[in-house]
Structure 1
Amino acid sequence: MRIQKVESPAGITAWLVEDYSVPIVSMRFAFRGGSVQDPGGKEGLSYLMSGLFDEGAGDLDREAFQDRLDDSGAEISFSADTDEILGSFRAIDEDLEEGFALLAKAVQSPRFDPEPLERVRSQILTGIEAGSRDPQEQSNRKWAAALYGDHPYASPTEGTAESVKTLTREDLVAQHEAVFARDNLVVSVVGAIDAETLGRYLDQVFAPLPAKADLREVPKVMPELGQELSVAYDLPQTSIRMAYPGVDRKDPGFFAAYLMNEVLGGGTFSSRLFEEVREKRGLTYGIGSSLSTRRYSSGLGIATSTRSDRVSETLAIIKDEVQRMAEEGPTEEELEAAKRYTIGAYAINNLDSSTSIASTLTQLQLEDLGIDYIDRREALIEAVTIDQVREQAQRLLTTTPTVMLVGPEQGGGSDQPAASETPAKPETETGG
């Protein structure tokens, strides 16, 4: 796969993979910002804004915009997470002219008209209200607040009922002007388009934006460890969450930590935690661990669920396995198996379609890993030694973790079903 760096006449850069096997172009772009840029008291602003870009733009109200989008055959969508506002575009080559014209309107001049604003706000409030009755959602919020305190990561991306009700059109306009800027943008494109043609469309969509974003400073934050938390819910199982320190994505020890986690719990069906907790003792249907690498924080998490009368036993086994990894590290055989899987699974997990390739390339740019990262990745993994993995195990796993139990109140415990609790591999492994 050949990745080109394209620069438009106006200086907009993008990574491009030309692929003419099908006449489709997929674009993924991101503006650094997301909910961490929501002002205090206006939590949910970026999330609300992301739902309004296709609800009218420029000289087109909602109905006119949607009619033209339907006629064009193009697909346009936006979303917001904690660290970025993301956009997606997809069209067949004969529809690019009209599709990019509509994308330009959405990116440059969203209308934020009253009717769509109130409708999308109402949808968000309905979701927040439903979440207030959902044990999973409430435990997620308590978990984030406990780990991150007064940092923006403690706030839900969609905001709170109180904050969302106060958001105004003026807030949306100001946030759009602050975040949607050329120096804050990364773009990836895969499909049936050449560099010259792409450069013209890049300028059409992005060149009129302000040169510089106006972002507020966001500090790095370490998760607050050593806490014991419980959330009481009358449920048939208890969910268990544990948080340990993490490693920054650009830390030289990242791959050593990633491979260590793969052996501990990241490999799911082949991991030590799965073998000891699920296979040998049947205490859970699923258990896993994952490294998270966010823009302003990192962590290693373990999650599972079990019968509420087996919580103490399950916790003890998990802690024993964590301690064993911290003291001994993996075996040579475990490390080699983790390397083989981590190398082999990357293309399947990250490069199996034009859309997933565009998403992966965008993440690589956001993490500043370099346009040659995919070519270098296998050698970086192969170079990891068992001593480096043991060093990361000692570094990350000897701290007292934060533990949260969600479920029936019993002896300080709590519960929750946790098939959904088993952490997925972070898709950003643009690393692992």
Structure 2
Amino acid sequence: MDIPLIEFQDVTKRFGDRTVLDRVNLKIYEGEVTTIIGLSGGGKSVLLKHIIGLLKPDEGTILFRGKPLNGMSKKERYAALGRMSYMFQDNALFDSMTVYENIALPLQETMNLKKKEIERRVMARIEQTELIDAVHKYPSELSGGMQKRVALARALVIDPQIVLFDEPTSGQDPVRKNAILSMIAQYQRKFGFTAVLVSHEIPDVYFISNRILALYDRTIVFQGTVEELEDFEHPFKDEVIRSLEGLQEELTGLRSKRQFKVLYHANLKRSALGESYTVLVFTLEALDAVITALGYDAAQKTIHYMGLFIDKHFAPIGGFSTRISFNEFVTMLPYSDRAEAEAIVKDFIPDLQEGIRQIQEGTRRKATSGECIEFVVHAGLAQGNPLEEIDSVIESAKRQQKEIGRLQCATQE
């Protein structure tokens, strides 16, 4: 793999007699979304502040593109860290400044730009974060969710190479949490910056993260992909993941991926050897269009209603479901073969049109005249047996997806 953008080598940090980080080793790669998970108060924010240079280690080395930061000249350090933004957990907005002034501040302090260029950049971020109606308001006049958006817009206004997010969704409801994460993910894809988050929002962060770092007992005990984390056995999984993840995903009310697999294995143990099951994969298309036309909250409400709709139809017949990516859902039908599952889906399709209309009603808001939002649902199924890995059955179902529902145009009021 390429040289890490940021690397910690045996980094230790103490505050008095208390050791917060103990010989931490980690790697963060350029252009990825890396999320640091761990219990509250476990040192995640302290670790993040070492990355941006707000704190210095008592022992160990921090490298940027393979070069130790403590061996760089002041000019080199500025070049390395100058295009880095930090979104504070408590937003750190200035109460005496308007939304516009808060967002403009980094440009005014770090760049020699003309007033018109500053205005152009600030207004672009304000529009992208849906803050037009709040331009001239003060932070005290905004809801907690809107304050988060202001902080995000300010972090992105300098077009940073690296953005550090300290608990960006703390204190938000499930829809807003996922809307913020969706916004981070979309901007990261669009602008290509490296994103580093600290969070305890599991499983929400799984859908946007390329790599997960697990901080446990003052050190990093895991770093790798979400898929690798699922197979990693360590005490932190009981103390951290199970305590934070819960039995359901907050946004959709469906099982978490971890609980889905637990139920899957439990069903295999109860089933007779060779007894089949069927996996259904549903994909909700065109969410980028929903985000563009209606905003991030509307896209998350769409996912929310889709999850509820799937659970409503398949849970009563023994199915259990989870969300495996931003817009993909999986349902397992135990003890069902392909023919039975095809009949179940066939009965499901006539109800889907009404379900899509319900989704539209849930995301309805004022929009420009003539706006048309098209909702499309694809589905695929595959039969499995106890000798097959569930992931391979899911992939087989994904390959067989075809359109099962479409509403040509949603008239927004």
- TM-score normalized by the length of structure 1: 0.28
Going by fraction, where is strand more abundant, 1 or 2? 2
Answer 1 or 2: higher relative contact order, Cα 8 Å, separation at least 6.
Answer: 1
- TM-score normalized by the length of structure 2: 0.29
